[in-house]
Chains A and B, each alone.
Chain A
């Protein structure tokens, strides 16, 4: 076999320490090395042209390049090989600059080390095999699951690039959690004013197919080519024909708990999810409708001025779509406050979660924005309990990040609505990150009716009382016991993964972190990508965050899709992956348990593991784990590494 060695002097940086002429003699003595050529700067244009030309003329079987770190120039020199008609994976680089000449004091030792490395590289490169970058056709359509702030922004960005988006939303309306907030922190701006223009854009975008009352039922395939089945529940109202007049709602004789108002009031069996919700069409809660009991009630249909807008024959549908990428933006939920029985939630009157209180504050809510106690009196005092579950190893061992801000928002809204009402913040910690949040904190602390009590442990906060007014007992951070009266208690629960996201994680085999949120590819560098290629993350399903951060992450996820799966381009499959020797595989599936990317499938019929090269990142953990030696990793095969070990020790 003919091995050619190219020695880059890096000007004189390498050659000052390592005399190429001395090294030449030793290197030419290595079996299979046919020639040794020195170049002043191999990475310069002249150097690259020389390499390409020389490879073309010499036609070596394998190439060893001794230069700087392969982390810097391996790709460049691989390209030179490719241009010279040699498979780029038939080269091995020796790092003489960073790891020999710069760090070895004695020139003789440095030369010995250099020759040693070149011998090992030669031994290794002989075992290297040509590898091909395969390409596959991909679908340019994108599935976005969840139409909250993150999903909406992702959908708009992708549609803006001329790509088709399938936007799946489980509720009847778009907008996610924030559609329920009348005012937003930190500036107490109008929530609908922020959200509605975004919603209008989404509704008008012809590239976005909106599927409300829908959920992902099945996903088959992998990055670039997913076959998705979407289950859409019947709405019984045609959103295209409906003009949104609401005439159908009045005559309806049946009522049911209004889930958008957290069940604080009832809505008709045919109703809007919430006033102003988009798409602007009601829907029928079939379980509450008289028709579900076999009666032929037609009151809504009779009141409807448009022919065919109310559709009693509507049925559950399974829709099939082909997409290349999936963005998960399914949001999160709030920690179950009944886990803290001492806080009285669900038992005492006027103890609310923050979401319930948002609805009480909203003019579209159950009380049309009037904050009253159950007995109809305005509350004289209000306790806001922060960190309900957050920062607590027994519950949610992280800061939810949003609660302090909305608690300060409540403080300000209560001040405006009920100027006499005392607001007492009971908190474990207070956080005000960001450039705008501190101003809100200042306003909240500047409220003359507000006070702040730092408690030591939520287990020692108790909400008790006989009548409507609660007594909130606590032990403060200094260890003193205290008690306050509160006509109303607002709990700020931890932001936790929703049931939907946990189900979806199972369906898509997408890893979750220790809290149950979708696990990002990298906590800092790649938080908008999941560990599975082709599946991206946005919003609070990846971790607690506010509207701004959710929308940003939606854009980030869209950016990943647009750059990783550009329209009209095939998807390249990196050749450095694991591979199974099917004859040797015993089917023990250890490889599947260690693979962080779910890149290994099990073929039950043949009883062997199969690597999906597209999903494999080439780390080689499965190779080291395989007890039967059936798994190997391209470009880092057992033979190659053994040859390198032996070579370096000679």
Chain B
């Protein structure tokens, strides 16, 4: 309890857990590009690679929140660049649906960010990760309803 109070008193100590779902061809390569540039960014994002952003099942995102993530990033190829032509389009549709779902669940929509990162956009990857980390720090930890209390 006392620890929680301390955290509340000093929110800058909160280190959010963020899951980044990245497609293999563009955004994962963009993250690699940021690595090659050796450009440091906050260590809060954990990347999970899928072949296509179209594979990102809304269930994955909800599972991430359930298992302790404070935020989720969905990164895809730019429109027209999708390796599978239109997977990123499907991903945007599912993201819109997810936002509605989050609203119903009382979860801030900023906790689920969709963005485009191409294989060449290492800097953009760093920028998105940094912004997302700051956003989630500002929002604080995701408060989950405890089942045992209900």
Chain A residues with a Cβ under 8 A of chain B = 69-71, 95, 97-99, 102-106, 109-110, 112-113, 116-117, 120, 522-523, 531, 576, 594, 596, 617-621, 623-625, 633, 636, 638, 641-642, 644-646, 648-649
**Would you call B43 and A104 a contact (CB within 8 A)?**
yes
Contact across chains for B60 and A645 when beta carbons are under 8 A apart? yes
Is A596 a contact partner of B86 (Cβ separation < 8 A)? yes
Q: Is the CB of B35 within 8 A of A625?
A: no
Q: Give, as a whole number of angstroms, the nearest-CB distance from A89 to chain B.
A: 14
Interface positions of B from 16 to 69, Cβ below 8 Å from A: 17, 19, 24, 28-29, 31-32, 34-36, 38-41, 43, 46-52, 54-60, 63-64, 67-69
Taking CB atoms, residues of chain B closer than 8 Å to A99 are 31-32, 35, 47
Chain B residues, Cβ within 8 Å of A113? 43, 46
CB distance from A650 to the nearest CB of B (A): 8
Min CB distance, B119 to chain A, in Å?
9
**How many angstroms between the C-alpha atoms of A531 and B47 in the bound complex?**
29
The answer on a CB contact under 8 Å between B32 and A98 is yes
Q: Across the two chains, which residue of chain B brings its CB closest to A596?
A: B85
Question: What is the bound-complex CA distance between A346 and B70, given in angstroms?
Answer: 68
Q: Which residues of B contact A644 (CB under 8 A)?
A: 48
Contact yes or no, A71 B24, CB < 8 A: yes
Minimal beta-carbon separation of A577 from chain B (angstroms): 10
**Would you give 21 A-B contacts (Cβ < 8 Å), ordered by A?**
A99-B47, A102-B36, A103-B34, A103-B39, A112-B43, A113-B46, A596-B86, A596-B87, A620-B55, A621-B55, A621-B90, A624-B58, A633-B55, A636-B51, A638-B57, A641-B48, A641-B50, A641-B57, A641-B60, A645-B69, A649-B17
Q: Which residues of A sit under 8 angstroms from B56, Cβ to Cβ?
A: 624
User: For A648, what are the chain B residues with a Cβ–Cβ distance below 8 Å?
Assistant: 19, 46, 48
Q: Are A621 and B32 in contact (CB under 8 A)?
A: no
> Do the beta carbons of A624 and B90 come within 8 Å of each other?
yes
Contact partner of B55 (CB less than 8 A), chosen from A112, A623, A649, is A623
> Which of chain B's residues has its CB closest to A618's CB?
B51
Known: A103-B34, A624-B90, A636-B51. A531 touches B85 (CB 8 A): yes
State which of B17, B69, B84 has its C-beta within 8 Å of the C-beta of A596: B84
List, in ascending order, chain B residues with CB within 8 A of A642's CB.
60, 63
Distance, CA A522 to CA B83, complexed state (A): 8
B78 CB–A CB distance under 8 Å: no
Decide yes or no: A636 and B46 within 8 Å by CB, A71-B28, A596-B85, A649-B64 being known contacts.
Answer: no
* A447, B110: Cα distance in complex, Å: 64
Chain A residues positioned under 8 Å from B64 (CB to CB)? 645, 649
Contacts of B43 in A (CB 8 A): 104, 106, 109-110, 112-113
A644–B50 Cα distance when bound, in Å, is 11
Interface residues of B (CB under 8 A from A): 17, 19, 24, 28-29, 31-32, 34-36, 38-41, 43, 46-52, 54-60, 63-64, 67-69, 80, 83-87, 90, 94, 126
Given contacts A70-B49, A619-B87, A646-B67, contact A624 B29 (CB under 8 A): no
- Closest Cβ of chain B: how far from A398's Cβ, in Å? 15
Chain A CB within 10 Å — which of B17, B31, B57 has the most?
Answer: B57
For the complex, what is the distance from the CA of A325 to the CA of B46, rounded to whole Å? Answer: 43
Kindly list chain A residues whose C-beta atoms are within 8 Å of the C-beta of B28.
Answer: 69, 71
Interchain CB contact (< 8 A) of B50 among A110, A116, A636: A636
**Which residue of A has the minimal Cβ distance to B90?**
A621
The answer to whether B19 and A649 have CB atoms under 8 Å apart is yes
- In the complex, the number of residue pairs spanning A and B with C-beta atoms less than 8 Å apart equals 119
- With A and B bound together, what is the CA distance between A649 and B64 in angstroms? 8
Q: Is the CB–CB distance between A645 and B54 below 8 Å? A: no
Question: With A98-B32, A99-B47, A109-B43 in contact, is A649–B85 under 8 Å at CB?
Answer: no
Point out the residues of chain A lying under 8 angstroms from B126, CB to CB. Answer: 103
**Which of A71, A109, A523, A624 is B54 in contact with, Cβ under 8 Å?**
A624
Residues of A within 8 A of B39 (CB): 103
Scoring B19, B29, B32, B60 by chain A CB atoms within 10 A of each residue's CB, the highest score goes to B32
Chain B residue with Cβ nearest A116: B46
With the chains together, A633 CA to B63 CA distance in Å? 18
- Which of A102, A109, A624, A646 is close to B94, meaning CB atoms less than 8 Å apart? A624
Interface centre among A102, A104, A618, by most B CB within 10 Å?
Answer: A102
Q: How far is the CA of A71 from the CA of B51 in the complex (A)?
A: 11
With A and B bound together, what is the CA distance between A98 and B83 in angstroms? 22
Q: Which of chain B's residues have a CB closer than 8 A to the CB of A625?
A: 90
A636 CB → nearest B CB, Å: 6
Query: B54 contacts A98, CB within 8 Å?
Result: no
Q: Which 8 A-B pairs have the closest CB atoms?
A: A98-B35, A620-B55, A621-B54, A619-B84, A619-B52, A648-B46, A649-B68, A105-B40
Task: Tell me if B90 and A594 are in contact (CB < 8 A).
Answer: yes
- Of A104, A109, A645, which is within 8 A of B48 by CB? A645
Further contacts, 5 of them, CB under 8 A, given A71-B32, A99-B35, A522-B83: A69-B28, A98-B31, A98-B36, A110-B43, A523-B80
Measured in the bound complex, the distance between the Cα atoms of B17 and A646 in whole Å is 12
Q: Which residues of A contact B35 (CB under 8 A)?
A: 69, 95, 97-99, 102-103
- Which residues of A have CB within 8 Å of B47? 95, 99
Contacts of A619 in B (CB 8 A): 51-52, 54-55, 83-84, 87
Please tell me if the beta carbons of B54 and A620 are within 8 angstroms of each other in the complex: yes
Q: List B contacts of A104 (CB < 8 A).
A: 40, 43
State the CA gap A105–B57 with chains docked (Å).
32
Q: Which of A95, A106, A617, A641 has the most CB of B within 10 A?
A: A641
> Shortest Cβ distance from A379 into chain B, in angstroms?
46
User: What's the minimum C-beta distance from A50 to chain B, rounded to whole angstroms?
Assistant: 25
Q: A97-B35, A98-B35, A523-B80 are in contact. Are A645 and B67 (CB under 8 A)?
A: yes
